[in-house]
Amino acid sequence: MTNRYLQGSLAPVSEEHTATDLPVAGEIPANLDGRYLRIGPNPVLDPGDSYHWFLGDGMVHGVRIAEGQAKWYRNRYVRSAHVTDALGEPRTPGSGKPGDFAANTNVLEHAGRTLALVESGSPPYELTRELDTVGPCDFGGTLTGPLQRGGYTAHPHEDPATGELHAVTYNWLRGNRVNYSVLGTDGLIRRSVDVQVGGSPMMHDFALTEHFVVLYDLPVVFDTSIVTRTMPRLMRLPARLMMSRLIGKNPLPDKMIDGIARRSANKGNQAPSVLPYSWDPSYPARIGLLPRDGGSEDVRWFEIEPCFVFHTLNAYEEGPPEAPHSVTIDVIRHDRMFATDLHGPNEGPSTLTRFTINLVAGTVSQEQFDQQSQEFPRIDERLTGSRHRYGYAVGFERATGGRRGDQARPPRRDLPGPPAGHGAGSRRILLRAPVGRLGRGRGSSDGLRLRPGQRPERPGAARCADPRRRRPGASSGQGARRVPRQLDTNRRRPMMQFLEPPHRGGHPG
């Protein structure tokens, strides 16, 4: 097996574990109370060497923290129809419908729900507190807009002032349209706006400021040649010509979408085989500013040099609140993506870059902080949309040519501007990366602070000892469920998210 996304630290895990009363190296602050969760692609069956990293079935890992102890560790598949069929289990209620996929990209909690998320037209999956699958989630029936059709995003952003979750959703079936939505604190979508873009781009992330939604319309776009590659040779050109008349131009007719959806539902026990997106050097790269209360006609577009952005660190405005004169956007910038490697993000270094949009002059400036290759940036999310000082990311070994998987020290960046959110005399949790050591910070003035007796508000990422390193049977609470396949069981290290205990009471839907 030669696919790099099935080897080493990215190799799939073949067992589901439950372990209790975990050993802790060091000390866990007694007032930490919640769960550390992470999620990543973990194919339930051997997908072969053509496998794309983004298409593996989702697996969630979690550690329960309370009273200075690590109460339990669990890892569970997100049980889509494909996963339950592969495991020989009854299907999860609601699974197997059009767009069904074992969400594999992000995990968070909102309005009392634990949600596993993925992008490009597939619905979120709701999980229990113990990480078992409840089923697909449509937010109480409100995830049904013309461009949503049950799909959501992998990277929503919470407004710390309101607690609402903002999202930008894309789906190639809807041509040159993306959808901006706001999910209320009641778990229902209260606002949905369709926005016209330049074609059919992959829009993995966006940014949120006090007044704007920042859109990335960049040159990774739907590729009809990838979709038609497996067709009989005589059918490829006609199919490609027909699709090129629709994809990235106008939404497909509802009848055609319904037909595609029915065929997809009939193949609900099959995993997707290709990711139909690639680099198009002729596609203009733009950043758009959509007013939060505006529509598609209100977006201001600003052209930039070709690049791709998977993840935003943060964005904020400068100037008077009623008339900001600039918007600052910190992102991890890739020179290109899916140009030569169609198995995953592996096109050379990715660097921390700042775009500054001058709203008065209508211009964009670009500044690269250094040559350190890095990804998965984070800030204290209580500062989302506001000026931040510190950012954190996963670093890669070769500073000027590192590729995904060459992990080294985590970059910690002290960004220009005054400190924000740092008071004296408070207890700190230092974020050393999306995967770091859980414990008390010492000898540093950065990081996220936890006041005595205060619970953190989604303070980011940390790590406990991995219970799978222990010998079998080392803990009386340890158990495992075997998954029927022949893949290695090496560990992976996707991002982890701290989730507070759920709000009291139920939620709609």
Query: pLDDT tens for residues 298-309?
Result: 999 999 999 999
Position 119 in a domain: yes
Between 313 and 224, the higher pLDDT residue: 313
Amino acid sitting at position 86:
A
Position 211 in a domain: yes
The reported pTM is 0.79
Between 92 and 322, the higher pLDDT residue: 92
Predicted local distance difference test score (pLDDT) of residue 156: 98
Position 439 in a domain: yes
CA–CA dist 329, 214 (Å, integer): 8
Does residue 168 have a pLDDT over 60? yes
Predicted local distance difference test score (pLDDT) of residue 402: 42
The single residue listed with the structure tokens 């983004």 is 54
Predicted local distance difference test score (pLDDT) of residue 149: 59
Closest CA to 187 of 259, 111, 288: 111
CA–CA dist 267, 93 (Å, integer): 17
Position 506 in a domain: no
3-state secondary structure at position 70: strand
Cα atoms in the 13 Å half-sphere on the side-chain side of 380: 21
CA–CA dist 78, 59 (Å, integer): 6
Amino acid sitting at position 123:
P
Chain centroid offset of residue 343 CA:
18
For the segment 430-459, the average pLDDT, to the nearest whole number, is 33
Between 241 and 115, the higher pLDDT residue: 115
CA–CA dist 271, 296 (Å, integer): 34
For the segment 61-70, the average pLDDT, to the nearest whole number, is 96
Domain that holds residue 296: 4-499
Query: pLDDT tens for residues 203-222?
Result: 999 999 999 999 999 999 99
Position 508 in a domain: no
Position 149 in a domain: yes
Position 509 in a domain: no
Position 177 in a domain: yes
Is the separation of the CB atoms in 212 and 317 below 8 Å? yes
Alpha-carbon dihedral angle through residues 28, 30, 35, 40, given to the nearest 10 degrees: -20
Is the separation of the CB atoms in 80 and 92 below 8 Å? yes
Is the separation of the CB atoms in 58 and 77 below 8 Å? yes
Between 484 and 92, the higher pLDDT residue: 92
For the segment 98-103, the average pLDDT, to the nearest whole number, is 92
The number of domains in the chain is: 1
Does residue 491 have a pLDDT over 90? no
